[in-house]
Amino acid sequence: MLKRLALWTAPLIFIGVLFYWPVANIIGLGFVADIAGGVIDRQTLSAIWFTLWQAAVSTLICIVIGVPSAYILYRKSFRGQKFIRGLITVPLVLPTIIVAIAFTNFHFLPPIALIIVAHVFINYSLVVRTVGGVWSTMDNETEEAAALAGAGRFRTVMQISLPQLLPAIVSAAALTFLFCSTSYGVVLVLGGGSVNSIETEISSAAVQFLDLGKAAGLAILQTLISIAAFTVSSLIAPAAIGIEQVHEGARKPRVDWRDWPALAVTGVVVVGLIALPLAVVLIRAVQVGDGYGFENFANLAGHGTRELLNVSLGQATMNTLRNVVVSSSLAIGFGTLIAYLLSLTSNNRAQLLLQRSMDALFLLPIGISSVVLGFGYLITFGDGPLPLRSSWLVVPLVQSLMALPLVVRLIYPALLSIGHEHREAAANAGAHAGQIWLYVESKMIRNVILTAVGFSLIVSIGEFGAASLLAYGDQATLPTVLYALISRPGGLNYGMAMAVSAILILLTLLLVLAVSRRPRSLRAVAA
């Protein structure tokens, strides 16, 4: 017990200092300030109401279209299935500022509709991967028995499969609601100032109007919404639900004519919702006047119209890559250790309570937006013993905290799924914990670890909320430069933004497809 507590020391110090301290300062500032006077005004109440109802509507749509797609993409098999899985994952890990830029091309839709469609675009694959990952591991015997008894495909799914999938569906819905309610870049760009959410109100209150009391009050409200979503999810789905599986069980049957409703839904969503916005950005990137060419890419060597940018795109790229290396290393290192400690067997009630407490403690950052955390850094690390606000390290530290829960939610369920028998057998053979992890467990979940590395890299590249508050001057990152380009009129700026977006879309797709591949050696271990 003492050894396990000692191993928790470093992760607890990391998250305590860099996450809970800034959040506690926000809460303290909120209680000192006049929260009611700062928050209860017509504009702010409208932003709160919009945040809640659009997140609920976006979540409902994601569930309705995501469950049929999970069935097709994880319960059935067909040629090109893995590519489609990778394609629909791109929006989930794509920088939100690029998602917003992509949907500016559909300006014939009203801002509210654009925001909801963009949120569905982003979170659709979260539902598909979470529900599909569980569905793929379920055995076929119950469904086959129901079919032999005369039950149709729809009835079998509704009465047998969905009740078993309820924890996964609730978990996916809770995360989707959180991501939609904490969305910043999408609302900022597509709302155009006429539509605001809690996030954009926090940013404007803190940066534009220096109303720290109002910003703190809204940050507290956002934190309470996150805690409420986590609580509901944990009550209905107490077990750890991951979005990546070590293996998918038995071979899946081929798609047949009875699957046409789910197949039609999936086809329309993949082509119309996922592929179309991405394709439009790629086309606009090579569109020059009435023709096509690569002039937009050549212009990336400059600083935009009237020298708009403080840094070149090359320097912003180097800043981004430097930040990504630091943030991903921290997220993978601490996330893997946390997942390993959470997966250890609990021999008594005290250890079980410790495990559940730590799980919740390290999961909470996924429900706190980077804007809220960035605001916390502004008021916590401006001076004193840790003047991080003046250091370039401040952005990658926030990025690592944003990626940390994702790493844990990938690796922790994977460790649980492989069981404890191998650990006990190796221990009986004389291996210590380090050897068991290095030579047995890490090899069994290597594919999941690679997925966590890839996702943490992509999440860090695309983080915009905190960077917009904390990255100043020559420390600008690619997302902040993109926002500067898209927020100022001019064909040159717009073309440059499309060119950078196209590059990042292709890079994200390649990374997602790369981490989705399962090495042959892993297949052998999984079998």
Query: What CATH number corresponds to the domain at position 240?
Result: 1.10.3720.10
Q: Whole domain around residue 138: which residue ranges?
A: 2-250+257-289+297-526
Separation CA 423–CA 31 (nearest Å): 48
Residues 6 or more apart whose CB falls under 8 angstroms from that of 417 comprise 137, 242, 245, 246
- Greatest alpha-carbon pair distance for the chain in Å reads 73
The pTM for the full model equals: 0.81
* Residue 288 phi, psi (nearest 5): -125, 105
pLDDT score for 242: 54
Q: Which of 163, 224, 210, 213 is nearest to 41 (CA)?
A: 213
Residue 224: partners with Cβ closer than 8 Å, 6 or more residues away: none
For residue range 61-80, what is the model confidence (pLDDT) as tens digits? 999 999 999 999 988 888 88
Quote the CA–CA distance of 86 and 401 in Å, as a whole number. 25
Does 332 score more than 70 pLDDT? yes
Instruction: Tell whether the model's pLDDT for residue 186 goes beyond 60.
Output: yes
Q: 20-34, 127-141, 250-264, 495-509 — which is least confidently predicted?
A: 20-34
Q: Give the residue carrying structure tokens 């998602």.
A: 99
- Residue 5 sits at the vertex; the CA angle it makes with 4 and 11, to the nearest 5 degrees, is 100
Exposed / middle / buried, residue 473 (Cβ in 10 Å: 0-12, 13-18, 19+):
exposed
Q: Render pLDDT for 7-21 as a digit per residue (tens, 0 to 9).
A: 889 999 999 999 999
Residue 228 is encoded by which pair of tokens? 């409420």
d(CA 350, CA 338): 18
Percent of the chain past pLDDT 70, that is, above it, reads 88
Alpha carbon distance, N-terminus to C-terminus of the chain: 34
What is the per-residue pLDDT for 521?
Answer: 36
Which comes out higher in pLDDT, residue 284 or 487?
284
Q: Is residue 524's pLDDT more than 50?
A: no
> Which has more confidence, 402 or 53?
53
Alpha-carbon distance 337 to 167, whole Å?
26
Structure confidence at residue 453 as a pLDDT band (50, 70, 90) = confident
Minimum mean pLDDT range among 89-93, 327-331, 470-474: 470-474
Q: Which tokens sit at 101? A: 């830029």
Helix axes 313-343, 349-363, angle to 10 degrees: 170
Task: Say which residues have a Cβ less than 8 Å from residue 211's Cβ, sequence separation at least 6.
Answer: 38, 205
Q: Does the structure show a pLDDT above 70 at 92?
A: yes
With CA atoms as reference, report the closest residue to 118 among 128, 109, 131: 109
Most confident option among 48-62, 171-185, 438-452 = 48-62
Over residues 47-55, mean pLDDT: 93
DSSP helix/strand/coil, 146? helix
* pLDDT band at residue 362 under the 50/70/90 scheme: confident
Alpha-carbon dihedral sign for residues 267, 272, 274, 278: positive
Higher pLDDT pick, 128 / 148: 128
HSE-up of residue 56 (Cα within 13 Å, Cβ side): 7
How far is it, in rounded angstroms, from Cα 438 to Cα 432? Answer: 10
Mean pLDDT value across the chain? 82
The residue type found at 114 is L
The tokens describing 245, both together, are 């599986």
Q: What three-state secondary structure class fits 287? A: strand
Residue 268 has pLDDT above 90, yes or no: yes
Residues 6+ apart with CB under 8 A from 432: none
Q: What pLDDT score was predicted for residue 372? A: 80
Better pLDDT: 249 or 180: 180
Q: Alpha carbon of 357 to those of 18, 37, 313, 338, 353: distances in Å?
A: 18, 35, 43, 12, 6
Share of the chain above pLDDT 90, in %: 20
- Give the residue carrying structure tokens 């320097």: 315
Range among 107-116, 295-304, 479-488 rated most confident: 107-116
Copy the structure tokens of residue 127: 């539902």
Q: How many residues appear in the chain?
A: 527
Count structural domains, the chain. 1
Location of structure tokens 């069935």: 71
DSSP symbol at 111:
H
Task: List pLDDT tens digits, range 168-183.
Answer: 898 889 889 988 988 8
Least confident of 127-131, 231-235, 329-333, 406-410: 231-235
